[in-house]
Chains A and B, each alone.
Chain A
Amino acid sequence: MVIKILRDFTKRMFSMFFTSKKEIALGFYGPPNAGKCVTPDTEIVLHDGRIVSIGELFREYSEEIDFSEDKEVYVDIRKDNLIVPSLDPRSLKIVPKRASHIYAQKYNGKIIEIITRSGRKIKATPNHPLLRVSDEGVKFIRSGDLQIGNCIGITKSLSLISSLTIPQITTDVNFEINGKMIKAKSKFHNPKSITIPSYVDEDFVSFVAYVLSESHHGRNKIIFSNTDPLMLSHFQYLAKKLFNLDSILRINKNVPQIEVYSKTLNDWLSESVNMTPQLSGNKEIPSLLMGLSDNISSVLLRRLFDCEGYVPKTVRERGAEIEFSSKSRRFVEQVQILLNRFGIVGKFKKKEIKGQYYYRLLIGGSDNHRLFRDKIGFQLKKKSDRLDNLCEAGLKRNRFYLPIMNLLENIRKKENKTQGEFYLDSKHISRMVRDNRISYHRLGEMARKSNNEVIKTLAGSDNVWDDIISVTEKDYDGFVFDLTIEDNHTFIVSNGIIAHNTSLANRICKDWTGEEIGKVSKVAHETRSVQFKEEVEIKYKEKSLKFKLVDTPGIATKVDYEDFMKQKMKKKQAQRRAKEATQGIVEAIKWLDDMDAVIVVIDATENPYSQVNITIVGNLVARDIPVLVVANKVDLKKANIKKVEAAFPDYDVVGISAKYGKNMDEFYESVFNLAKKA
């Protein structure tokens, strides 16, 4: 540790004195987030197990903000502590991170729809970056630049955390509470009293799994039908044990079924666990059950697969895959997220039966099957025997491949090893090199013997790489959304695709130049709304410039909550926003001392005086920090660059259009000039 610090220090000292290119700190002052992103139906995984579409999420936080066309709206949600799982692009590990802003914009133009081999799909604007692995290593790439055959990241291991306690009924609006017993209130009937469990355990999870998979769940009855006598009696036992409810066994069309009648039970399930009777197409696992411990998750999956899973009789049967199918897409995606906990990755397929669509999750490959047997397994003897067959077959389907053979060959040459030594086995290597792909499995075996950092990171990652089978461009007119995540800047879409959020600073130095932001460093600052990236490099006309990029909220000398109220916000909310704004400004001021040069971004369509305070620009100049004023959105009719120039008479003003990349030459020229001054 000490040696590392010393080494870093000497390196830094060396670079300070002996290299002519000094890394300068370049500050972006402007709205913290102004990227374009994904369509509103994109569903995002939250750390507490919920899966929410980003459009809904935005509505949840924006409440009554009314946003008109051509306007970008970003909402600061740091106070709400929205935690999402996020992939650290350096270590490729998934860690929980806080979302700082949510953003919406009216967008009219092309969107890119990407479908991967395993059936995962994402719709995003061409500027939206996705994680990709190639011979150049792991990088974010604009979705507009992706091609068929490229490999993008999807989740492999993901652990969510939700509470173990079931929310208790405290108000007696709908229920009469009598000690541990509750009873639904009813005008005309006298419903049965039931007991309720207070925490999530194996029994409760099993009951929910049965209800979700093989039951008719009505408003006042649950009818579980199955041919397996063991499962029937288990369900009967659970109803009695958990809720003290007696059930009836009936044979309906030769299928035995267990009927449980209780209005109270169904009312309680929908109020407390948020499990309302749904049509089969809208079924979903309650978010309460999405982030349980490994043991209980495994029970939940076992019950679900016992009921809805299918295992082929013989290995020869087409696919030889464990199949889980449902009419509800979300249900299937949730099962995949639960399987991610054990590192099992399947593929999605859609199937049409009699004009209705069914979603299938297919788990293929003996690696996955073995994992499934060890971690989850089946209770039904028939299915578990079949699974044993699959495990022994040594199937290699559904393996994920990485197109990084050139990268590996370079490493091998550097380490001076033969192919046999490096890949541990000289089989298939020429084919691997020719096809430029290596299986994730093989990389994992290599990592055990190798000391190479790249191989270790790639093999130990929480994600796998899935190749794209279709990229289509579509016209889109509507709103697009984005979520800003602190530090890591990635979030996870419900079907497992890892997406990058975009920000204004990113947009300027990444989206247009095609250059990536190399590292995302963690800031040991108590405030984290200031984003901070090191070693950003932009290249323009054979010149290159390295700098540290600091993305901060704008600085103002006045904050009036009534301005927020003009956006149709409620008074209390407006006051809260105003308070957040003032705190953001205090943070941004603290960073002033560390800047070498500053780019102030102004929306040319709005009054420049109300955006970035001129005082602060004067202050920067008085500190001898060079300033460049960028007027964005000059493509719009409303834009008035003269007004911006009038507001900042002493400084260089460059008018650009971020959307269309207009006037970028002049912008880069100015950035290089600015860097010279710094």
Chain B
Amino acid sequence: MKHSFKNIYWFVIKKVKMGRKKIKGLTLQFIPYREISGLDSVERIKKLLKIILDNKVVVLQGRLRVDEESRLIEDTMVMIDNVKGFKGIELEVISGDNEGRSFFERFKSGIAKMIVGQQDAITIIGPASIVKEMKKDPSKLEIVMS
């Protein structure tokens, strides 16, 4: 995977002192899918990381593509090295499972996924300093705050 970390440096520098801020309360930020649908991979990740660095938990409609997801983790690792106080993220996806569906329904959702991206899922990403762990059961998701 070709990768340059240059494009994330701009806010790395900006947020260096983040760790010293005291967190007051918990902020959830909901992002509808259409907000990220027009962006390319780099910009999506940039947008998400920016919110996370503000110590907010992101609730995203839909899910990222797999390569974006791994890219997000990679960028997170670079951020851990560079941003003081940043410990990483917790990321979890819950999606409608395909198992109970008929063939036609699966086909339909497959086509829809191809055209508009996977929207029938929810992705939750939070900074590790706030979200302690996420427990996933196929049907439900538990988030433990620290």
Residues on A lying within 8 angstroms of B by beta carbon are 555-560, 578-579, 582-583, 585-586, 589-590, 592-593, 609-610, 613-616, 618-619, 622-623, 646-647, 649-650
Set of chain B residues within 8 Å of A619, measured between Cβ atoms: 66, 69-70
Set of chain A residues within 8 Å of B78, measured between Cβ atoms: 582, 586
Other A-B pairs beyond A616-B73, A619-B69, 6, CB < 8 Å: A557-B90, A557-B128, A559-B88, A586-B78, A610-B133, A615-B73
- Of B9-17, B33-41, B100-108, B135-143, the segment with at least 4 beta carbons within 8 Å of chain A is B135-143
Q: How far is the CB of A474 from chain B (nearest CB, A)?
A: 44
The count of chain B contact residues (Cβ–Cβ below 8 Å) is 25
Of the A-B pairs whose beta carbons lie under 8 Å apart in the complex, a sample of 10, sorted by A's number, is A557-B91, A557-B128, A559-B77, A559-B87, A560-B88, A585-B74, A586-B77, A609-B135, A646-B137, A650-B138
What separation, in Å, do the CA atoms of A555 and B70 have in the docked complex?
10
The answer to whether B90 and A622 touch across the interface, beta carbons within 8 angstroms, is no
Set of chain A residues within 8 Å of B81, measured between Cβ atoms: 579, 582-583
What separation, in Å, do the CA atoms of A583 and B78 have in the docked complex?
8
The answer to whether A558 and B74 touch across the interface, beta carbons within 8 angstroms, is no
The answer to whether A592 and B70 touch across the interface, beta carbons within 8 angstroms, is yes
Set of chain A residues within 8 Å of B133, measured between Cβ atoms: 609-610
A-B complex: 9 closest residue pairs judged by Cβ atoms: A558-B88, A558-B128, A582-B77, A560-B87, A615-B91, A622-B66, A609-B133, A589-B70, A623-B66
Check if B80 is an interface residue, CB within 8 A of chain A: yes
The answer to whether B88 and A589 touch across the interface, beta carbons within 8 angstroms, is no
The answer to whether B73 and A589 touch across the interface, beta carbons within 8 angstroms, is yes
Assuming the contacts A578-B80, A579-B81, A649-B138, asked whether A557 and B73 have C-beta atoms less than 8 A apart, the reply is: yes
Set of chain A residues within 8 Å of B138, measured between Cβ atoms: 649-650
Q: How far is the CB of A575 from chain B (nearest CB, A)?
A: 9
Check if B116 is an interface residue, CB within 8 A of chain A: no
Q: How far is the CB of B137 from chain A (nearest CB, A)?
A: 6
What separation, in Å, do the CA atoms of A610 and B136 have in the docked complex?
14
User: Which secondary structure dominates chain A's binding surface?
Assistant: helix
CB nearest to A620 among chain B residues: B66
Set of chain A residues within 8 Å of B48, measured between Cβ atoms: none
The answer to whether B92 and A614 touch across the interface, beta carbons within 8 angstroms, is yes
Residue of A558, A583, A592 near B89 (CB, 8 A) is A558
Set of chain B residues within 8 Å of A555, measured between Cβ atoms: 73
Most A-side CB within 10 Å, residue of B1, B80, B133, B135:
B80
What separation, in Å, do the CA atoms of A270 and B81 have in the docked complex?
41
What separation, in Å, do the CA atoms of A619 and B76 have in the docked complex?
16
What separation, in Å, do the CA atoms of A294 and B115 have in the docked complex?
71
What separation, in Å, do the CA atoms of A313 and B128 have in the docked complex?
77
Set of chain B residues within 8 Å of A610, measured between Cβ atoms: 133
Interface string of B79-98 (1 = CB under 8 A from A): 01100000111111100000
Set of chain A residues within 8 Å of B51, measured between Cβ atoms: none
The answer to whether B87 and A558 touch across the interface, beta carbons within 8 angstroms, is yes
The answer to whether B92 and A615 touch across the interface, beta carbons within 8 angstroms, is yes
The answer to whether A557 and B74 touch across the interface, beta carbons within 8 angstroms, is no
Check if B134 is an interface residue, CB within 8 A of chain A: yes
Residue of A557, A609, A623, A649 near B88 (CB, 8 A) is A557
What separation, in Å, do the CA atoms of A583 and B128 have in the docked complex?
18
Set of chain A residues within 8 Å of B70, measured between Cβ atoms: 589, 592, 616, 619
CB nearest to B76 among chain A residues: A557
Interface residues of B in 102-146 (CB under 8 A from A): 128, 133-138
Q: How far is the CB of B70 from chain A (nearest CB, A)?
A: 5
CB nearest to A580 among chain B residues: B81
The answer to whether B136 and A614 touch across the interface, beta carbons within 8 angstroms, is yes
